[in-house]
C-alpha cells in the first residue's frame, strides 16, 4: 500500500485547530497519541504531539499510564476490564474466575484475519477482531476524557505485512468501536516508526529536499516485527513528504512477548524445577504453557526490562563488554 496515500488522507478544514489521534493497536500494548496543529498560529509553530495517559481499572485502584495492555477480562461481576488490571489478572486467572478464550483474551491481534473463533466465548467476544474492537473502544473512551472529545481524524497502525483479510478485520474492529475508518486510515507501523524518528531527529538529518531517499526500518514491537524498505521524497517548495513502502518482511509474528516466553521456559522454569527437586519432564508442555507460563510472564518481562536498563547504564559509563554475564560485578565509578 502506498504510504503517500496514507499520509494525505481526507482533506481537513484549516480554519481552526486540527486534532488527530494515532492509535497503536498493539499485540501486547496499545497507545493513543494526539497531534494538535493550529494553522492560524502567526508564529507557525510545529504541531504539538503528546501521548495520552489513560486511566485503567485494577484491583488496587485506577492505574494511569500511556501504555495500555491489549488484554480484555470479563469479571464474574459483569465488569469488563481492559488494560493493566486485566493484564495482572492474567497471572492468576483462577483467583478471578477467568478462563482464557472465554472470559480472558490477550495477544489476539496475531489471530486477526485467520478466521479464528473463540467458541466458548459470548457472541460479542468470539472473534479476534471483536476483542480488538473492545480494546479500541476503551482507548477512545479514555482518550476522550483526557483530550476533551473526539478528534477530527483517527489513524490506526497495522503491521506492514498484514494481508487484506487482516486489514479488513482491523477496519471491522474500528467499526465496533464506533470509528468510521477507511483503508487509507490504516498506517503501516514501519511508516509510523519512521515518522516518529524524523519528528525527533529531524527530517533534514536524513533526507535532502527533492532527492529520493531510502530507509530500512526495523520495527520490533511487543508482539510483531516489521522489516521494511521505505522511500521518502521531501518536496522542495512545500513542507511535505512523499512516503512509499517498497518492500516488507513476509512474517511478522515475533516480538518482545516471545522473548518473555523464552525467558520463562529457558530460565525461570528450569530454576523452579531445580529449586523444588523436580525433573524437567515432571510437567507436560500443556501444564507449563497454560498453567505456569501466564504466572511467570510478568517476572520474565521485569527481568528483560531490568537487564536492558542495566546494559544501557553500563554502556553510558563505558563498563559494558558484550557477552560478559556478571553485570553486577562491573559497577560504574
> Is residue 31 a contact partner of residue 70, using CB atoms and an 8 Å limit?
no
Structural domain including 294 reads 256-326
CA dihedral sign, ordered 251, 291, 298, 66: positive
pLDDT of residue 332: 47
Is residue 249 situated within a structural domain? no
Residues 175 and 280 in one domain: no
pLDDT of residue 13: 54
Is residue 131 situated within a structural domain? yes
> Is residue 226 a contact partner of residue 248, using CB atoms and an 8 Å limit?
yes
pLDDT of residue 324: 60
**Which of 167, 189, 211 corresponds to the end of one domain?**
189
pLDDT of residue 3: 36
CA max distance for the chain: 72
Query: Beta 71-74 vs 104-106: how paired, if at all?
Result: antiparallel
Residues 12 and 130 in one domain: yes
Is residue 212 situated within a structural domain? no
pLDDT of residue 325: 56
Residues 184 and 264 in one domain: no
Residues 150 and 30 in one domain: yes
Is residue 197 situated within a structural domain? no
Residues 177 and 53 in one domain: yes
268-324 pLDDT, tens digit each: 999 999 999 998 888 998 889 888 998 899 899 999 999 999 999 999 999 888 776
Of 129, 250, 140, 242, the C-alpha closest to 191 is: 242
d(CA 166, CA 169): 5
**Which of 189, 219, 237 corresponds to the end of one domain?**
189
Is residue 195 situated within a structural domain? no
Residues 183 and 311 in one domain: no
Residues 72 and 149 in one domain: yes
In which element (H, E) is residue 322 found? none
Please list the ranges in the chain whose pLDDT falls under 70. 1-15, 42-45, 202-205, 237-239, 324-333
Q: What residue spans of the chain are helical by DSSP H?
A: 3-8, 84-90, 128-147, 164-176, 189-201, 256-263, 269-275, 285-286, 293-316
CATH of the domain at 103: 3.30.420.40
pLDDT of residue 213: 85
219-229 pLDDT, tens digit each: 888 888 888 89
Number of domains in the chain: 2
Helix (H/G/I), strand (E/B), else coil: 223: coil
Is residue 153 situated within a structural domain? yes
pLDDT of residue 20: 94
What is the per-residue burial (b if ≥16 Cβ within 10 Å, else e) of 195-229?
beebeeeebeeebeeeeeeebebebebbbbbbbbb
**Which of 189, 205, 235 corresponds to the end of one domain?**
189
Amino acid at each position: 500500500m502506498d504510504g503517500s496515500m496514507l499520509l494525505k488522507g481526507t482533506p481537513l478544514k484549516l480554519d481552526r485547530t486540527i486534532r488527530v489521534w494515532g492509535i497503536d493497536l498493539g499485540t501486547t500494548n496499545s497507545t493513543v497519541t494526539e497531534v494538535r496543529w493550529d494553522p492560524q498560529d502567526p508564529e507557525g509553530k510545529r504541531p504539538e504531539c503528546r501521548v495520552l495517559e489513560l486511566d485503567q481499572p485494577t484491583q488496587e485502584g485506577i492505574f494511569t499510564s500511556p501504555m495500555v495492555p491489549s488484554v480484555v477480562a470479563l469479571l464474574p461481576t459483569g465488569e469488563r476490564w481492559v488494560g493493566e488490571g486485566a493484564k495482572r489478572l492474567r497471572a492468576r486467572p483462577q483467583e478471578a474466575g477467568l478462563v482464557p478464550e472465554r472470559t480472558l483474551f490477550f495477544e489476539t491481534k496475531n489471530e486477526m484475519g485467520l478466521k479464528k473463533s473463540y467458541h466458548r466465548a459470548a457472541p460479542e467476544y468470539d472473534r479476534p477482531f471483536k476483542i480488538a474492537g473492545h480494546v479500541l473502544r476503551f482507548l477512545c473512551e479514555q482518550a476522550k476524557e483526557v483530550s476533551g472529545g473526539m478528534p477530527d481524524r483517527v489513524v490506526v497502525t497495522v503491521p506492514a505485512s498484514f494481508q487484506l483479510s487482516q486489514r479488513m478485520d482491523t477496519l471491522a474492529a474500528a467499526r465496533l468501536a464506533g470509528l468510521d475508518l477507511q483503508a487509507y486510515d490504516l498506517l503501516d507501523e514501519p511508516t509510523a516508526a519512521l515518522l516518529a524518528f524524523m519528528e525527533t531527529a529531524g527530517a533534514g538529518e536524513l533526507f535532502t529536499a527533492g532527492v529520493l531517499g531510502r530507509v530500512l526500518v526495523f520495527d520490533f514491537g511487543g508482539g510483531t516485527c516489521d522489516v521494511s524498505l521505505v522511500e521518502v521524497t521531501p518536496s522542495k517548495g512545500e513542507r511535505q513528504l512523499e512516503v512509499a513502502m517498497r518492500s516488507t518482511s513476509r512474517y511478522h509474528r515475533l516480538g518482545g512477548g516471545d522473548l518473555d516466553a523464552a525467558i520463562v521456559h529457558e530460565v525461570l522454569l528450569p530454576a523452579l524445577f531445580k529449586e523444588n527437586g523436580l525433573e524437567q519432564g515432571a510437567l507436560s508442555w500443556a501444564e507449563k504453557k497454560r498453567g505456569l507460563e501466564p504466572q511467570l510472564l510478568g517476572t520474565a518481562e521485569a527481568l528483560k526490562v531490568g537487564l536492558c536498563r542495566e546494559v544501557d547504564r553500563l554502556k553510558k559509563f563505558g563498563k559494558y563488554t558484550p557477552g560478559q554475564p556478571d553485570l553486577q560485578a562491573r559497577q560504574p565509578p
